[in-house]
Structure 1
Amino acid sequence: MAYWYASQGVVRTFNASIDEGILWTCERPQGKWTGEDRTNIRHMGEGDIVFHHSKSYLRAVSVVIASWEDAPRPTSHYPGLDGEEDDGWLVKVQPLETGLKLSYKDVAQLIELGSPGPFTAAGMPQHKKFLSRLGDADGNQLLHHLGLEYVDEGLYGRPSAEWLGDDTDGLSISTIRNEQSALRRHLLNGRPVAPCSLCQTELPACLLVAGHIKPRTLCSEQERKDYRAAMLICSLGCDALFEWGYIVVNANGRLEPGIPAETRPLEAAVAKLSGRGCTAYDEVTAPRFEFHRRLKVGQLHQ
C-alpha cells in the first residue's frame, strides 16, 4: 500500500475524481518530456491511498480500487493542449472522505518538502505537478492530522485494511471491533468449535475469525450490515492466504491459486488447499468471491 498526492489545479478534473471515481492523464505533447508526475499513475495499485489537492487546499481522500488501464480522455476533462494525445491512462478510485479544506500551508508543515514530493523546498505546491508519491510517514501524518485512520493491521490478527471515515466508517476502532465481534458471534452461532470455511479443519472458536469475502473498504453500507458478507476462516494460515490473494474461490466454489507464491513453502500451502470446496460459497456469496478473485489477480478493471 502506497500514498499519493494528486495536485488537480483544474476544479473540473478534481470533480471528476470525486463524482466519477477516476484519475486520468496522458503523455505530454510530442517533443516534450513526460515526467514521472504523469507516469506515476502506472505505479498505483489497489488499496493505495490518494490525497486530492485542488485550488490551494487538500480537499479529499480516496482509495485506488483498480490499477491503470489504457483509456481515452474522459468527457469530463477539458480538451488537451496543442499536440497532446487523447489516449492516456486511467485509474479507478473510491472517495473515502470529501469536503475537506486543509490549506497547502498546513500540508507543508506535515510532509517532507522538496523534490520528488508535491511541494517545493519553500513549501509551495510544485507547478503543474500531477502525481507525487508520499512516504509512509508523510501519509500517516496527513491522515492523523485529518482525524482519519487507515488501519493496516487486521482485527483478530487479520492483515486487512479498515478505513474509519463517514457513516459506517465513522466509528472508533473499538466500535469497529464490536462490529466484527458481532459478525463472528453470528457465524459461530454459539458453537465452541467450528470448521474453517476453506480448509474445513474443526477448530476452537478462538482460532476462527470473521473474514470479509469482499474487502470491507470496498463494501457498500448495505453489504457491511449483511452477515453473509463474511465467513469463518482459521487463523492458522487460511485467513492470510485468502486475504493476500494467494488462494481464491472460482466460479465452481472451489479453491484455486491466486497470485503467484514467492516461496516453495508458500506454494506448498496453496497446493494443499487447491481443489477443496469452500463451504461459504453459495448463490448469495458467489458474486463476492468473484469480486475478491478479480481484485486479487488484477482483473477487476477489465
Structure 2
Amino acid sequence: MAAVARRLGVAPATLRTWDRRYGIGPRGHTTGRHRRYAPADVARLELMQQALLRGVTPAEAAGYALSSRRPAEGVRIIAQRDRPPDILDRSASVVGINRAATAMDAVVTQQLVEAAVRDLGVLACWDGVLAPVLGALGGHGGCVEVARMVEECVLAAMIGATPLVTVARNPHPVLLCGVPGERRALPVYVLRAALAQAGIGTQLLGPDLPPAALAAAVRRTGPAAVAVWSARARRGGAEVFGGVPRTRQRVRLFACGPGWLADDLPGRVERLDGLAGAVRRIEALVGAPR
C-alpha cells in the first residue's frame, strides 16, 4: 500500500478511506495485514485521482473509476467518451487545474490544460478556464512560482493546438506580437492558434517586440495585417504603430487586448478588445478564401 500511495502522491490512510467508503481498493486481496494492489487496481485509483483533480466529488470520481471499461490500460487522462458530464464543466476544469497547479504537479496540470483546450476549443478555454485560473494565481503574491508553471503549461498546450497552415486562406500573413514592455503575452499564442485553426496564415513575433523590429518585419513580409496585444493599461500607441511603414497594399493595424487607450491610437489603428472578436474581425478582413 505504501508504494501505491507514493505513486499517487496520497497518504496510505487516504487509500484505506477510499476502499472503505467507495469500494475502490484491491479487489483480489485476502484477509491479512498486507493489501496487494494488482495493476488494474492501481489503474482504477489513477482514474479516480484524475477525476478528483478535475473537480468532481470523491463519490463521483470513485463511481467513474469503478465503471470504467478500460481500467487495465492505466489511463493517465480520462478519455472523452468516458468522462461524466461534470468533468466537462468549465468550473470543474478550473477547480482541477487549480488543484494540480497548487500541488505543483506539472504533469497533471499539463494534461488537464490540454484536455480543456481540446474539449472547449482554444478561445472558450482561454476565456472560461485558463484566464480565470491565471487571474486567481496572479492575485496572490505567494503564487508566482505556481503561476509561472501554469503559464508554461498553457503555452505548450496552445502551441500544440496550433496547426501548421501550409496553404493559407490569406495570401499575405498576419503578424502577431506583444507590446513592448510586457514580457509575457499568452493571449497572442491563443490568437495564433485560433486563427490557424481557421486557416489564416500568421507569423508570430513573440512578446515584448520593439517598435523598430515590428516596422522591419512589416517591410520584410508585406503582411495583410498586424495585431499587437497589450494586457495592461498603457499609453504609447503612436510609438508602437507610428513606425509601421505604409506599403503598396493596405496593412490593417489592430491594437488587441484591454491595455490600449482608444484616444492614444493613430487613426489607422483599429482597437479589438476580446480574443473572440479579434479572431472574427481579422478573419473577415484578411481571410477571404482565394
TM-score interval, smaller chain: under 0.3
Question: Which structure's relative contact order is higher, taking Cα pairs within 8 Å and 6+ residues apart?
Answer: 1
Instruction: With the length of structure 1 as denominator, give the TM-score of the two structures.
Output: 0.26
Which structure is higher in helix share?
A: 2
Instruction: With the length of structure 2 as denominator, give the TM-score of the two structures.
Output: 0.27
Which structure is higher in strand share?
A: 1
